[in-house]
Amino acid sequence: MAVRPILRYPDARLKQVAEPVRAVDDDIRALVDDMAETMYAAPGVGLAANQVGVLLRVFVIDIASDDEPSDLRVFINPEIVETDGTQTWEEGCLSFPGVTEEIRRAERVRVKALDRDGNPFELEADGLLAVAIQHETDHLNGVVMLDKLSAVKRRLLGRKLARAKDEVAADA
């Protein structure tokens, strides 16, 4: 297992649509293990494969709090098949470090996917898990957090990201 570098916006790979996984094999399981280690090291609650430069439809999520045991969930070729209700959640993203924004999403989702071993499963989720599933599915579809904001908020966030990039460059 290895911690992989997380791509940061505006890396063009974050806007690319990920390809379906053709077969769940040892290479995919190694990718999943690396992604989990990367997510925990960041730390974050979810990570999509394209955030580590791999354009495959894979993401990992663990919404357990620090005082709870790990609850790693693996989604390979996920498909959201049903949504219901709406909620607004303060979201962050490992590709937008230090940035949080209120994003409107479905309150409940039903998703079909394959697990780490290639077994199909279906899951109904609400709350943070539903938000994380939608957020990571967006990544696989080339949609980033910025795309979910109004034009005014996008401009303000763009300026904030530019300042943060300049500060990182000045510190280097």
Asked if 88 and 48 touch (Cβ cutoff 8 Å), the reply is: no
Q: Examine the residue annotation and report whether 101 is marked as an active-site residue of this protein.
A: no
Catalytic residue among 82, 101, 136, 167: 136
Secondary structure (3-state) at 127: helix
DSSP 67-87: TS----EEEEEEEEEEEES-E
57 DSSP 8-state letter:
S
**Rounded distance, CA 88 to CA 103, Å?**
5
Instruction: Provide CB contacts within 8 A for 81, sequence distance 6+.
Output: 110, 111, 112, 122
Asked if 73 and 79 touch (Cβ cutoff 8 Å), the reply is: no
Q: Which residue numbers are catalytic?
A: 136
